[in-house]
């Protein structure tokens, strides 16, 4: 959802559905990769691409506060009643951030971003993740996931 304009400030909303990593035995991953390779070999070069695999259909959501905490800008965060979706927004002066309570080697998360319609020059629609555990400061090493 997109927040409406309040006064002259443009608002951007980012919905983040948190799906913490649930360990899958390595053997299952290897077997799955081999099966995928075998299926790919049997396909024609002109076949339509697969619509994709959606981990969200296999992994249930976990409460945000169980795995994550506010890093900065709590006044720009809104948690859904079931604590599985976090809405972050920014205005002309600030935004928001959060961090995991532990380090992850891999996992899944989904992000939906919308920018206010109209003139939005200077608004960077990207989701940043820290790549240098532990993420104890706002300004550690960052990687952006562009939309």
- Are 16 and 95 in contact by the 8 Å Cβ rule? The answer is no
Full-model pTM: 0.47
Residue 50: inside a domain, yes or no?
yes
Domain membership flag for residue 33: yes
The domain in which residue 76 lies consists of 12-146
CA 94, CA 99: separation in Å to the nearest integer?
A: 17
Does the residue 5 lie in any domain? no
Q: What is the pLDDT of residues 45-99, one digit of tens each?
A: 555 555 666 666 676 777 888 888 888 888 888 888 988 888 887 777 777 888 8
Q: What residue ranges in the chain does DSSP mark as E strands?
A: 12-19, 68-72, 77-79, 85-90, 97-100, 108-114, 126-130, 142-146
Backbone angles phi, psi at 13, to 5 degrees: -115, 140
pLDDT at 39: 54
Distance CA 143, CA 2 (A): 25
Rounded CA-CA distance 47/52 in Å is 14
In a domain, 45, yes or no: yes
3: in domain: no
Position 2 in a domain: no
Alpha carbon distance 98, 138 (integer Å): 9
**Is 7 domain-assigned?**
no
pLDDT confidence of residue 60? 73
93 in any annotated domain = yes
Decide: helix, strand or coil at residue 55. Answer: helix
For the chain, the domain total comes to 1
Q: What is the pLDDT of residues 9-25, one digit of tens each?
A: 334 444 444 444 444 44
Task: Enumerate residues 6+ apart whose C-beta is below 8 A from 36.
Answer: none
| pLDDT score for 72 | 82
């Amino acid at each position: 959802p997109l927040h409406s304009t309040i006064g002259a400030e443009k608002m951007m909303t980012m919905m983040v559905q948190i799906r913490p990593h649930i360990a899958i035995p390595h053997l299952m991953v290897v077997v799955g990769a081999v099966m995928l390779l075998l299926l790919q070999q049997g396909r024609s070069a002109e076949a339509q691409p697969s619509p994709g695999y959606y981990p969200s259909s296999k992994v249930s959501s976990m409460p945000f506060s169980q795995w994550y905490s506010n890093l900065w800008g709590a006044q720009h965060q809104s948690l859904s009643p079931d604590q599985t979706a976090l809405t972050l927004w920014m205005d002309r002066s600030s935004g928001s951030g959060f961090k995991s309570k532990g380090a992850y080697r891999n996992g899944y998360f989904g992000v939906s971003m919308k920018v206010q319609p109209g003139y939005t020059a200077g608004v960077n629609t990207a989701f940043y993740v820290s790549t240098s555990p532990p993420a104890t400061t706002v300004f550690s090493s960052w990687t952006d996931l562009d939309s």
